[in-house]
Structure 1
Amino acid sequence: MASEFASGMLKASVEDHIGTLFLDNPRRKNAVTKAMWQAIPTAVTWLCAEAGARVILVRGAGATDFSAGADISEFGEVRRDAATARLYEAENSAAFAALRNAPVPVIAVIRGICYGGGFGLAAAADIRLADTTARFCVPPAKLGLAYPADAVGDIVRALGDQIARFALFTGEVLLPERLVMSGFLLECLGPERLEETAFSIAATIATNAPLSVRASKLAVRGTGDPSGMLLSEAAALGAATFDSKDYAEGRQAFAEKRKPQFTGR
């Protein structure tokens, strides 16, 4: 099952409950256009609500780059002054939020350049994998811009306070080995192993009980929510799993020493 958004520059597909979201602008190293920013929330909703994804892989099209970030060639129009910049950043923030708040886990699969807004999309994901070609940078300080505040929150949570400050203040390029040490990356792999590892993790998630995974994601998000609302939602969803068909299936499969077949109900 597949669909296209932003005139084909954002592609979404689902197979065996594994969703994939492709940033498809290889001519500009998969830079994200205004239309792509606008389409990301719609694409994530389609993947989860219509196509049945239980996990989403976010990738750059082609074999070289994740994303060079926002398409700077548009800035003369979309960020020409404070008013247009505020509208543009609101669209950026909505895209980051779509990944952060997706009901299913999101895995960023990173090769080559992962800069600026591309870094923000990766930071909003739940899990990040990269290969040894990956290079990371948050360059607003070198462009005279400020990064959206909510995206900075993602970066701090994903990178850790000290390295986040360094990345934002200097705009320096960071290597994947360093970001494994910081906890930003789960693993740094050889280029030949990245796809296999990403799909293996996604397949494991996709075969687990969807309600359980969703409750866990809500609970993790809730640890950073001072209002306590997300933790309350997670607790309610967790409690509901005990009356679910999947819980009954899990118990029965364990007793019968077979692999459970979960349906998300």
Structure 2
Amino acid sequence: MTETDKMLATVADGIGTMTFNNPERHNAVSLEMWEAAGSILDDFANNPAVRVVVLAGAGGKAFVSGADISKFEDERASQTAYERYNAAVDRASTLLYEHPKPTIAKIRGWCLGGGVGLATCCDLRIASDNSRFAVPAAKLGLGYAYKGLKKIVDLVGPAYAKEILYTARQFTAAEALGMGLVNRVVAADDLDAYVQDYAVTIAGNAPLTVAAAKVAVGEAVKPDAERDLARCEAVVDACFASQDYIEGRRAFMEKRKPDFQGR
């Protein structure tokens, strides 16, 4: 398998799926995979056929298990290589966190280190009941960058964030749910169908309304001085001025499913 084969992208039923395809290493992510992830996310953002983005891991045993340590000798051998690696991680993570479409992490099995980082960049996290979560930086002597740490704190609060980072231990799916690290936990056999149904449900809703909600929630978690309320108002106005608003009203009156076009 070449490096380019280790990231897969498909589009169907309004859902863009990005799969980390390195199962022999529990979907550990190399530099080339990070760079490919950035390109895929960029393509999904600009593809009108994509209304929801789902992240998944291949092989059935892991979502993402962090960085591919076997590549470190090449990828971090020099300052230039180290900077290129960090830039690729930051670009993909930022594209995911700021993605204009709703994003779902479909988590099965191991979700470790950078896998937790990727999951916290998504809007929703749905995990199988056999998933395991950990940020093992403290066992490796690594520092955890502020941007990634803050996303964990935003989800679970400071007390649980400290527990995750101080202990570096593995948490069960039930523990992750209790902390608020994931939205839902379902039986492993039901995960694919459950996430598919969730994604199809979101894809069938009015894209401009969903996008407006994503903008508003993003602004709501910022400090007061940093909130762009004009942007929130603009995306709401765009909904009311859209053809989808007309379609939604007509469909309601006609007792049928609306056919939203995102305009």
Aligned twin of 1:16: 13
Map Cα deviations across residues 2-21 of structure 1 (whole Å, 9 max, x no partner): xxx95121111111111111
What do the CA deviations read for 1:94-142 (whole angstroms, capped 9, x no partner)? 2211111110111001111100111100111110011121000111111
Calculate the TM-score normalised by the size of structure 2: 0.93
Q: Which residue in 2 is equivalent to 1:68? A: 65
Q: What is the aligned-residue identity percentage?
A: 39
What is the correspondence of 1:190-205 to structure 2 with a 5 Å cutoff?
A: 190-205=187-202
The one-letter code matched in structure 2 to 1:126 is: D
Relative distance call for 1:136 and 1:41 in structure 2 (3 A) is: same
Against the structure 1 CA distance between its residues 261 and 153, is the aligned structure 2 distance closer, same or farther, given a 3 Å change threshold? same
Q: Deviations over 1:189-226 (max 9, x none)?
A: 11111111111110110000001101111111112233
Instruction: Write the letter of the residue equivalent to 1:168.
Output: L
The Cα of 1:76 is off from its aligned counterpart by 2.4
CA deviations over 1:48-96 (Å, ceiling 9, x no partner): 3136211111000122211111111122233346664444223222221
Q: Which runs of 4+ in 1 moved over 6 A?
A: none
Q: 86-95 or 204-213: which moved more?
A: 86-95
Consecutive unaligned residues of structure 1, counting only runs of 5 or more, are none
- Number of equivalent positions: 261
2:239 to 234, 241, 247: 241
Aligned positions of 1:28-107 closer than 5 A: 28-50=25-47, 52-80=49-77, 84-107=81-104
Contact 2:135/2:165 (<8 A) preserved? yes
Does the CA-based 8 Å contact 2:41-2:92 persist in structure 1?
Answer: no
Aligned pair partner of 1:182 in 179, 183, 195? 179
TM-score (normalised: structure 1)? 0.93
- 8 A contact 2:111–2:133 mirrored in 1: yes
Per-residue deviation, residues 148-179 of structure 1 (Å, max 9, x unmatched): 22111111112322111111122111111011
Q: Deviations over 1:209-256 (max 9, x none)?
A: 001101111111112233545543232111111110000000111111
Letter in 1 for 2:126: L
CA RMSD of aligned residues (A): 1.8
Tell me, yes or no, if the aligned pair for 2:126 and 2:183 is still in contact at 8 Å.
yes
Taking the aligned partners of 2:172 and 2:151, their CA distance within structure 1 comes to 19
The CA deviation string for residues 27-51 of structure 1, in whole angstroms up to 9 with x for no partner, is: 1111111111112121011123136
State the distance in 2 between where 1:80 and 1:224 align.
38
Q: Secondary structure at the match of 2:17?
A: strand
Task: For structure 2, list consecutive stretches of 5 or more residues without a partner in the other structure.
Answer: none
Check if 1:111 corresponds to 2:112.
no
Report the Cα distance in structure 1 between the residues aligned to 2:165 and 2:14, rounded to whole angstroms: 36
